[in-house]
């Protein structure tokens, strides 16, 4: 992994992205930390053209986006237009909103919808990924739901955006999932996992938890990963400080010269 492949998931700083002025200020701060790429998610109302102008002004590349579940399943051609405007090729289905994992009809409807929309994106030169949480580590008819999703879709149309924290939280192995998604893993969310002093699970900065990122990154690279995206759902203070701490750890301990 090279430092140029490390991106910041803007969902981490979503509370600092509510207005165009806030967006400009926050993207400048993200770039000053050292990130040269971002994943668009959690950004407040702003014209895409204005957002692109800000990104270009800071020298930030858009490695990917998260689009709404509804847009991906019901308006994939609109998603293609958004990705074109942002000059990026990857997006991810972010959350199984409204999906009942106890219902075969609902679950298989999601799988069929992802395949159908993924085909539309692929034909336009784009890549649809699936972003997991811990929900997908429940079993349906004895099979882990995340396995059902990937087994029920074609790698041509649906690829993976594994989230290391949520895999761990769901009882999975982040390294094993990188290996399982070999050739199907263009992007990964690096998110550390910590047990705090109250014996509760907690999000934390990269290197401050207990995930073995050397092994995770090596497995992701072997699987063909292009982008390594730092995300932290909640932070103890200013989320920019957490993004900076994670970046420094990655720069000093995990990247190749």
**Span 204-220, pLDDT tens digits:** 999 999 999 999 999 99
Decide: 249 and 207 in contact? Cβ < 8 Å. yes
Distance CA 18, CA 219 (A): 36
Is this prediction's pTM over 0.95?
A: yes
For residues 34-61, give the mean pLDDT.
98
Q: Could you identify the residue written with the tokens 């991810």?
A: 92
How does residue 257 score in pLDDT terms, banded at 50, 70 and 90?
low
Q: Using 50, 70 and 90 to split pLDDT, how confident is the model at 223?
A: very high
Q: Distance of alpha carbon 94 from its chain centroid, rounded?
A: 8
* Average confidence (pLDDT) over 76-80: 98
Q: Does the structure show a pLDDT above 70 at 89? A: yes
pLDDT exceeds 90 at position 127: yes
Task: Give 184-194 pLDDT, tens digit per residue.
Answer: 999 999 999 99
pLDDT bin (cut points 50, 70, 90) of residue 256 is: confident
Mean pLDDT of 150-166: 98
Query: Residue 16 — very low, low, confident or very high, per pLDDT cuts 50/70/90?
Result: very high
Structure token pair of residue 224: 């063909």
Edge-to-edge strand ranges of the sheet holding 37-40: 159-161, 127-131, 90-93, 61-66, 37-40, 6-9, 227-230, 187-190
Average pLDDT (74-78) is: 98
**pLDDT higher than threshold 80 for residue 252:** yes
DSSP string, 228-239: EEE--SS-SS-H
CA–CA gap between residue 52 and residue 84 (Å, rounded):
11
């Amino acid at each position: 992994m090279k430092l140029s492949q490390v991106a910041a998931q803007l969902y981490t700083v979503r509370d600092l992205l509510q207005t165009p002025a806030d967006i400009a200020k926050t993207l400048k701060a993200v770039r000053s930390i050292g990130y040269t790429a971002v994943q668009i998610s959690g950004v407040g109302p702003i014209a895409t053209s204005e957002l692109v102008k800000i990104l270009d002004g800071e020298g930030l590349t858009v490695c990917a986006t998260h689009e709404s579940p509804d847009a991906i399943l019901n308006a994939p051609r609109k998603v293609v237009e958004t990705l074109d405007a942002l000059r990026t090729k990857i997006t991810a289905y972010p959350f199984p909103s409204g999906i009942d994992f106890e219902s075969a009809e609902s679950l298989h409807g999601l799988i069929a919808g992802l395949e159908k929309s993924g085909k539309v994106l692929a034909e336009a030169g784009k890549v649809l990924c699936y972003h997991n949480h811990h929900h997908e580590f429940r079993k349906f008819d004895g099979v882990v739901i995340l396995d059902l999703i990937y087994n029920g879709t074609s790698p041509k149309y649906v690829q993976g955006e594994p989230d290391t924290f949520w895999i761990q939280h769901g009882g999975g192995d982040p390294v094993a999932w990188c290996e399982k998604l070999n050739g199907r893993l263009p992007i990964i969310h690096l998110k550390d996992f910590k047990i705090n002093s109250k014996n509760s699970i907690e999000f934390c900065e990269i290197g401050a938890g207990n995930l073995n990122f050397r092994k995770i990154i090596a497995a992701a690279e072997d699987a063909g990963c292009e982008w390594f995206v730092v995300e932290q759902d909640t932070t103890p203070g200013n989320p920019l400080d957490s993004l900076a701490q994670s970046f420094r750890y990655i720069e000093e301990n995990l990247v190749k010269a």
